[in-house]
Amino acid sequence: MPGNIQTSQIKILLLGFGGIGIRHATVLLKKYESFLAIVDPCIQEERLKQIAEYKGRYEIFSSMEKINDVHEYDLAVIACNTHYHHDVLIELSSKKFTGKILVEKPLSAYPDKLKDLSFGSNQVMINYCRRYHVPYQRIKEHYKDSPDSIKSIVIACGCGGFFMLVSHYLDLISYITGDFSIYPVYSNLKQLAYENVRGSDFKDFAGTVLFQSQKSDLRIFVDCSNDLGIPPHLRFQGGKEVIEFSEVDGLLTFYKRGDNVMNEPLSRYIHPLLKTDGDIDEIKLPFLLEKAYEDLMGSFSIGCTWEQGLTNVNIMLQALPLQEHKDLILA
Ligand SMILES: NC(=O)c1ccc[n+]([C@@H]2O[C@H](COP(=O)([O-])OP(=O)(O)OC[C@H]3O[C@@H](n4cnc5c(N)ncnc54)[C@H](O)[C@@H]3O)[C@@H](O)[C@H]2O)c1
């Protein structure tokens, strides 16, 4: 079983150098004494300019085939389009790659192709990086003695990427509650995704239950109440307490609502669990990636495992009409 990675002069295969790949590259080059083999059939020069200051610490390849020996690498990061994740994972598996693997969420659009792959336990982590938001970890701690009391509400109005949101939230909810028995109740998520793209406020879907737990009262449903003046994206309700999150432009805001504060200005009631020691910028994506790498380079303890990632993607796909699976865009 792979243990901690020796991070001095770590060698990394970065498979996919698009919007998210460049963010991985920047964090890895900045944070570690790393050497990167960047693999992408369609490299954009603009993106290379963003890492020009690290010249000499990376090399570009158009395919994994062009790399002499993948076994020289300690870590593979899969950041290509979701549709190709399985190809890359299958190639790494057939080459008997033994390093660690960080695969972008939501793992795969074709989980069936992956179910027979075997990687060592603790070798693969799915980059559900929102788990690394400090407040989500605090809320897990907060509810640790009563995870069954949580009721969760997901809504998607006011932000792009419906599937991205749902997949992250399914991960967060199962991470926080430890509940992997969630199953889809609503069988046309695609419709909600279309509504989201059209800018719908989801009023017609208010109360629609999307997912439900088999072992508790936990339900994930569309909520359109906007009485706090912000679109609440995720709401945890444990006992009488309701804690709301709103993620706008990558920033997470965390509110507590109780009977006595319903009509008061929000800013006065930022939940204490939101407070971090540093600046609010700490919770932007690069910070989350840094945290994910810290976890992965050690023996990861918070990260999403292969099994959890497969469960999550299967839950999502079950909620889509069959014919939609093949062209599903899991952003
Ligand atoms: N964790 C997060 O919060 C988060 C956020 C955004 C995107 N993502 C995930 O990141 C992944 C990439 O998203 P993106 O927005 O960067 O996409 P993108 O389209 O900007 O980039 C994908 C890149 O992969 C390359 N590519 C395609 N096939 C390849 C292959 N076989 N080998 C190597 N490279 C290949 C493409 O040429 C392209 O440059 C997706 O799975 C997405 O779900 C995760």
Question: What is the rounded distance in angstroms from the CA atom of residue 295 to the CA atom of residue 304?
Answer: 11
Question: What is the rounded distance in angstroms from the CA atom of residue 103 to the CA atom of residue 82?
Answer: 10
First to last CA, the chain: 31
C-alpha of residue 223 to centroid of ligand 1, in Å? 30
Tell me, what's the pLDDT at 138? 81
Single-letter amino acid code for the residue at 17: F
Residue-range domains of the chain with CATH: 10-129+288-305 (3.40.50.720), 134-282 (3.30.360)
Is 129 a pocket residue for ligand 1 (Cβ < 6 Å)? yes
Q: What is the DSSP-derived secondary structure letter of residue 278?
A: S
Question: What is the rounded distance in angstroms from the CA atom of residue 331 to the CA atom of residue 171?
Answer: 15
Q: How many residues does the chain have?
A: 331
Is 20 a pocket residue for ligand 1 (Cβ < 6 Å)? yes
Contact 225, 155 (CB under 8 A): no
C-alpha of residue 35 to centroid of ligand 1, in Å? 20
Q: What is the pLDDT along the chain (331 residues), one digit of tens a residue?
A: 456 777 778 999 999 999 999 999 999 999 999 999 999 999 999 999 999 999 999 999 999 999 999 999 999 999 999 989 999 999 999 999 999 999 999 999 888 889 889 888 789 999 999 899 877 888 888 888 888 888 777 765 545 577 777 888 899 989 988 999 999 998 888 888 777 777 777 778 888 888 999 988 888 888 776 555 555 567 776 666 666 666 654 455 555 444 444 433 344 345 566 565 655 444 578 889 999 999 999 989 999 999 999 999 999 888 876 655 555 555 4
Tell me, what's the pLDDT at 189? 83
DSSP string, 9-44: TEEEEEE--SHHHHHHHHHHHHHSSEEEEEE-TT--
